[in-house]
């Protein structure tokens, strides 16, 4: 099984900050990685797929990069609506393992 590890688990930041979340895979997954945002009591929302492709309707302040085993999600200027939990998900294998999540909190 491919394991996904996110860091940090929690991140405290202020509005306007540049925020970076890292996701590492236990083996190479090429670019088969997605990022989701989840707010309390809501379903996840797809932000990025294929490591760096922005889903339609997602603000351009979100970007993804990486390939192989190391990936990042960057929010260029944190907005009040961005305080949430973020998950990476690999879909290289015939499954879809998620990372454990990164909670972005208000500093």
Partner 1 sequence: EVQLVQSGAEVKKPGESLKISCKGSGYSFTSYWIAWVRQMPGEGLEWMGIIYPEDSDTRYNPSFRGQVTLSADKSISTAYLQWSSLKASDTAMYYCARRDIVGATPGLYYFNYWGQGTLVTVSP
Residues in contact with partner 1 by CB under 8 A are: 1, 32, 34, 36, 38, 43-46, 49, 55, 87, 89, 91, 93-101
- Based on CB atoms, which residue is closest to partner 1, 7 or 77? 7
Task: Tell me how far, at minimum, the Cβ of 65 lies from partner 1, in Å.
Answer: 17
SS3 string, the chain, reads CCCEEEECCEEEECCCCCEEEEEEECCCCCCCEEEEEECCCCCCEEEEECCCEECCCCCCCEEEEEECCEEEEEECCCCHHHCCEEEEEECCCCCCCECCCEEEEEC
Task: Tell me how far, at minimum, the Cβ of 69 lies from partner 1, in Å.
Answer: 18
């Amino acid at each position: 099984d491919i394991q996904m590890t996110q860091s940090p688990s929690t991140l405290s930041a202020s509005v306007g900050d540049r925020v970076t979340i890292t996701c590492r895979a236990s083996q190479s997954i090429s670019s088969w990685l997605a990022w989701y945002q989840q707010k309390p009591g809501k379903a996840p929302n797809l932000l990025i797929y294929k490591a760096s492709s922005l889903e339609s309707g997602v603000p351009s302040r979100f970007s993804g990069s990486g390939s192989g085993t190391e990936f990042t999600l960057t929010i260029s200027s944190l907005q009040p609506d961005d305080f949430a939990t973020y998950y990476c998900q690999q879909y290289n294998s015939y499954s879809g393992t998620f990372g454990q999540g990164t909670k972005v909190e208000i500093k």
